[in-house]
Amino acid sequence: MAFDRKLLEIIACPVCKGKLDYDKAKQQLICKADRLAYAINDGIPVLLENKAEPWQDEA
Dihedral over Cα of 33, 29, 37, 10: its sign: positive
pLDDT tens string 35-57: 999 999 999 999 999 999 999 88
CA–CA dist 48, 18 (Å, integer): 14
Q: What is the pLDDT of residue 1?
A: 76
Cα-based distances in Å from 57 to 9, 24, 45 = 22, 15, 20
Instruction: Give a yes or no: residue 38 inside a domain.
Output: yes
Residue 8 forms part of a structural domain:
no
The mean pLDDT value for 21-27 works out to 95
pLDDT for res 59: 61
Q: Can you list the positions of beta strands (E) in the chain?
A: 21-23, 28-31, 36-41, 44-45, 53-54
> In CATH, what number is assigned to the domain containing residue 42?
2.20.25.10
Which pTM value belongs to this model? 0.90
Q: Can you give the C-alpha Rg of the chain in angstroms?
A: 10
